[in-house]
Copies of this chain bind each other. A is one copy, B any other.
């Protein structure tokens, strides 16, 4: 299938990751993570984030749900934007596995404001109400926008001063860091995030995500949560080897920088054509309004999703492997 703009999950695996998998495929390794590839990858995470505990899991939903499980008791609640992946794209897994209620707000751009959080902070100590305990934000958001470091710090401060914890769904955390031009340590560790779902799959890996626990106390029993949560890989070395390569020489940043740049290019080109782009393009996604007939014609050659049918809003996602040529061809088609 041709490269399209449907999802960064549709892209393949970066050649360097493929090679790392092949290189790891030699001899025996103790299963379940007691192997040198895993040790090495964890060490790399330590260099990136400072002191932390890292647990590799299979996928993004697993990373998010297990993170929340480690941060909550079932009578608590998780506050998020109503566009949050944990709310709209995980088939209710967070509620099902944590037992917690999700409290959500509409936001114009996928970014939760302090006021969005504050309005849920009532009934504290009253047993009739699920007790807010975690705020979960997505960085970069599902709308392709990015919290600034100051915004992150402000949210973390507000969250902690109210006795809550902060989770970040970082399925596209690399795209956010590249956009802000800061390290993940500055963006995540130093702003006060408690637990991060660190994505790999959307940005050039085959499978595998990491739960990065910066608030150590929350890591104590995580190994049981992961195993009971069906997210412990037996042949762990193949996730670890991917992460090892992914983090080496900033491959992960390079991939994100590329997909961000492609999205920017796409945005510029379509705006030139007079098309309305509905969200700031700060990561690798572009949201735009198209005439309905144009949508169908384009989709025949380049698959992508309609985001909001009622207003003919579409979503285009660029990947690590999107080329300028892909965009040129897409724009040419669009011109017609």
Interface residues of A (CB under 8 A from B): 1-4, 6-7, 9-13, 18, 21-22, 25-32, 35, 58-62, 65, 73-77, 88-93, 95-97, 99-102, 127-131, 201-202, 206-207, 221, 223-235, 238, 303, 319
Which listed residue (B7, B30, B99) contacts A95, Cβ 8 A? B99
Q: What are 8 A-B interface contacts by the 8 Å CB criterion?
A: A12-B27, A61-B230, A62-B230, A74-B96, A92-B100, A95-B99, A97-B97, A201-B235
| Min distance, Cβ A195 to any Cβ of chain B, angstroms | 16
What's the minimum C-beta distance from A98 to chain B, rounded to whole angstroms? 9
Is B75's CB under 8 angstroms from A92's CB?
Answer: yes
Query: B13, A28: Cβ atoms under 8 Å?
Result: no
B207 with A233: CB separation less than 8 A: yes
B residues less than 8 Å from A61 (CB atoms): 227, 230, 232
Residue from the list B18, B31, B226, B232 in contact with A25, Cβ < 8 A: B18
Q: How far is the CB of A182 from chain B (nearest CB, A)?
A: 27
| Copies of this polypeptide in the complex | 4
Residues of B within 8 A of A225 (CB): 75
Establish whether residues A12 and B32, one from each chain, have CB atoms under 8 Å apart when the complex forms.
Answer: no
Contact of A22 among B18, B74, B229, B233 (CB under 8 A): B18
Instruction: Contact check, B224 vs A91: say whether CB atoms are below 8 A apart.
Output: yes
Among B32, B93, B102, B232, the residue within 8 A (CB) of A229 is B93
Contacting residue for A223 out of B127, B221, B234, CB 8 A: B127
- A91 cross-chain contacts in B, Cβ below 8 A: 75, 127-130, 224, 227-228
A274 to B96, CA, bound (A): 49
Chain B residues with Cβ under 8 A from A90's Cβ?
128, 227-228, 230
- What are the residues of chain B within 8 A of A9 when measuring CB–CB? 31-32, 234-235
Q: Which residues of B contact A7 (CB under 8 A)?
A: 31
Per a CB cutoff under 8 Å, which of B25, B35, B75 touches A228? B75
A139 CB to nearest B CB, Å: 19
State whether A235 touches B221 (Cβ < 8 A).
no
Residues of B within 8 A of A27 (CB): 1-3, 12
Q: Which residues of the other chain, B, contact A76 by a CB distance below 8 angstroms?
A: 92
Complex CA distance for A67 and B88, rounded to whole angstroms? 25
Question: A228 and B92: CB pair below 8 A?
Answer: yes
Contacting residues, chain B, for A230 (C-beta < 8 A): 58-59, 61-62, 65, 90, 93, 97, 229-231
Alpha-carbon gap, A95 to B229, bound state (A): 12
Contact for A89 among B1, B26, B129, CB less than 8 A: B129
Q: A3: which B residues are within 8 A, CB to CB?
A: 27-28
CB neighbours of A102 from chain B (8 A): 95, 101
How far is B202's CA from A77's CA once the two chains are assembled, in angstroms? Answer: 28
Residues of B within 8 A of A229 (CB): 93, 230
Whether A207 contacts B227 by the Cβ 8 Å rule is no
Distance, CA A233 to CA B127, complexed state (A): 12
Query: With A91-B224, A92-B130, A129-B91 known to touch, is A234 a contact of B101 (CB < 8 Å)?
Result: no
